Amino acid sequence: MGEGREIRQDPARLSGVASGALHRTVRITRATEHLELYFPPLRMPEVAIPLALFGIIAMALPGLAIFALLPSLGATAMISAVLVAAFVLPFGIFGGAFVLLAIYMLANALVVRFSAEGVDIVRLVLGASVRHRRVALHDMNAPQPEITSRYQSLFSSEPVYQLVSREKRTGKRTVLAETLIGEASMLEVKALIERAMDATHREVHA
């Protein structure tokens, strides 16, 4: 086969709401021999930043509770401080988990590449690959949409979707696309994936 010529998807050709949403959360590269979806870092700051702020506030609660009791130092005050800190300590732990999740949401990227050899899925954190899978096309079912709760924004009524395929032999879930804002964006990417899977499948069996 000849070398594939890389073609970048023109956001202006996408329909309605899908245009702006896709341009922000996914970069689509199409060539004669492959389709690549790149979900860059910092693609959903409106979700990650409020989550981080909530986590920081929750982490500060134990310290604030003890600090409020420090002016009345004494045996009784110290016991009260310990009891209050123990009560609010779980909030600090959950807050730390939220902060870590927010950092991960901001720092991670996802690359999904469809070719005749199969589908390569690479998860990157701060530019370093932390997980890489390859799945054969013949072992994949058509992608199905799911609404992901962790990426829903309080400031938007649009649902955020991911597209998931289950492997035919094992039933294992494989995320093929994520952070797709709104149904229009989801349907646009779903159609691209289905066309890519169908085209490469025909190419393999030609």
Residue 189 has a pLDDT of 93
Mean pLDDT, the chain, rounded, equals 80
Most confident of 23-32, 177-186, 191-200: 177-186
Report how far residue 79's alpha carbon sits from residue 74's, in angstroms, rounded to the nearest whole number. 9
pLDDT grade for 163, boundaries at 50, 70 and 90: very high
Provide the pLDDT confidence category of residue 78 given band limits of 50, 70 and 90.
Answer: low
What does the angle CA 190 – CA 155 – CA 162 come to, to the nearest 5 degrees?
A: 20
31 vs 118 pLDDT, higher one: 118
> What pLDDT, in 10s, does the model give residues 85-130?
677 778 888 899 999 999 999 999 999 999 888 899 999 999 999 9
Report pLDDT for 81.
64
Res. 145: pLDDT tops 80: yes
Residue 60 has φ and ψ, to the nearest 5°, of: -80, -15
**CATH code, 7-41+111-204:** 2.30.29
Residue 85, C-beta contacts closer than 8 angstroms, at least 6 positions apart: 62, 65, 66
Model confidence band, residue 22 (pLDDT cutoffs 50, 70, 90): low
What band does 143 get if pLDDT is binned at 50, 70 and 90?
A: very high
What DSSP string describes 59-105?
HHHHHHHHHHHGGG-SHHHHHHHHHHHHHHHHHHHHHHHHHHHHHHH
